[in-house]
């Protein structure tokens, strides 16, 4: 039976600049093996499947990469909430929706026009686990004397602040050294960031995960890593922007140009969001 299908570009001001996401509607009858096989065939960084929600949730999704299922991920959640509102799967109350995913129930904020809403999802709470001197050749561009900080909000990322945005954008990372470090520490990857005050963004981020995703050693736009950058900057009292809101630029070094909208609320919770472009709409037969 054909399913409605969308392919979105998330964190994108225009099609092709963000992170693609496959969206399969009415996946209640699909089994786990089918979802995994479909996500592998589509070969997108993530594909989501809409299922009937349990009481207390407005919609429910399962999230698959080509290789495995994820309990939660930022860019699929932003795309899911956008789809739920634009395609009428759920109606926000007071600008809020509750998403059900394998990690549990998560609040989502909706604002603006329902034909093209702005969406922000609350990231799982960030925890600062430990520090380490930066390795893998990254100490050359890191802020001198500053440790790499291991943070977790589901995935674990080593956070390394670069001394300048220019150095970070020009970095040619040693992927094998990064893979060796992250594999040895059982972490997802290394997220580097630097303040870059420009007209349309405040921070530049790059996320290297060659040990976790061999075929995608640098992720073009990364929800979890951006949420951790927000948490870290908040913890250090260096949050840029106004009212806890700033915009991060990621992916330019890979030919993309993603924009992640980050907000740290009064409770220190990090919300991530951005614009969504609907690129492909149709049906899927499997």
Residues that bind other proteins (CB under 8 A): 5, 7, 9, 14-16, 20, 37-38, 40-44, 255, 278-286
Which is closer to other proteins, CB of 111 or CB of 116?
116
User: Least separation, in Å, of the C-beta of 84 and other proteins?
Assistant: 19
Which is closer to other proteins, CB of 8 or CB of 270?
8
Which is closer to other proteins, CB of 117 or CB of 230?
117
User: Least separation, in Å, of the C-beta of 285 and other proteins?
Assistant: 6
- Comparing C-alpha atoms, which of 2, 1, 4, 3 is closest to residue 278? 4
Which is closer to other proteins, CB of 180 or CB of 284?
284
User: Least separation, in Å, of the C-beta of 172 and other proteins?
Assistant: 18
Q: How far apart are CA 181 and CA 68, in angstroms?
A: 22
Q: How far apart are CA 96 and CA 33, in angstroms?
A: 32
Vertex 145 angle, CA 141 and 147, to 5°? 85
Which is closer to other proteins, CB of 49 or CB of 271?
49
User: Least separation, in Å, of the C-beta of 98 and other proteins?
Assistant: 29
Q: How far apart are CA 12 and CA 24, in angstroms?
A: 20
Distance between the two ends of the chain, CA-based, in angstroms? 8
User: Least separation, in Å, of the C-beta of 279 and other proteins?
Assistant: 6
Q: How far apart are CA 9 and CA 201, in angstroms?
A: 19
């Amino acid at each position: 039976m054909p399913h409605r299908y969308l392919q979105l570009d998330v964190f994108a001001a225009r099609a092709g600049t963000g992170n693609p996401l496959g969206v399969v509607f009415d996946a209640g009858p699909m089994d786990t093996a089918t979802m995994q096989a479909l996500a592998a065939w589509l070969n997108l960084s993530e594909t989501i499947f809409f299922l009937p929600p349990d009481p207390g949730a407005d919609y429910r999704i399962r999230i698959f990469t080509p290789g495995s299922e994820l309990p939660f991920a930022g860019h699929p959640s932003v795309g899911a909430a956008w789809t739920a509102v634009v395609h009428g799967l759920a109606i926000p109350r007071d600008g809020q929706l509750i998403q059900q995913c394998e990690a549990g129930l998560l609040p989502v904020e909706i604002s603006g026009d329902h034909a093209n809403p702005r969406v922000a999802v609350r990231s799982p709470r960030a925890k600062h686990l430990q520090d380490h001197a930066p390795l893998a050749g990254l100490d050359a561009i890191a802020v001198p004397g500053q440790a790499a900080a291991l943070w977790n909000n589901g995935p674990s990322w080593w956070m390394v602040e670069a001394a300048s945005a220019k150095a970070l954008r020009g970095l040619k990372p040693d992927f094998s050294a990064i893979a060796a470090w992250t594999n040895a520490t059982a972490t997802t990857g290394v997220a580097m960031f630097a303040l870059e005050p420009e007209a349309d963004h405040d921070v530049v981020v790059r996320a290297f995960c060659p040990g976790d995703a061999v075929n995608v050693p640098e992720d073009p736009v990364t929800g979890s890593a951006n949420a951790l950058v927000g948490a870290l900057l908040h913890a250090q009292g260096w949050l840029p922007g106004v009212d806890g809101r700033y915009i991060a630029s990621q992916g330019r070094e890979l030919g993309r140009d993603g924009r992640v909208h980050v907000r740290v609320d009064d409770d220190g919770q990090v919300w991530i969001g951005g614009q969504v472009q609907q690129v492909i709409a149709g049906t899927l037969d499997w």
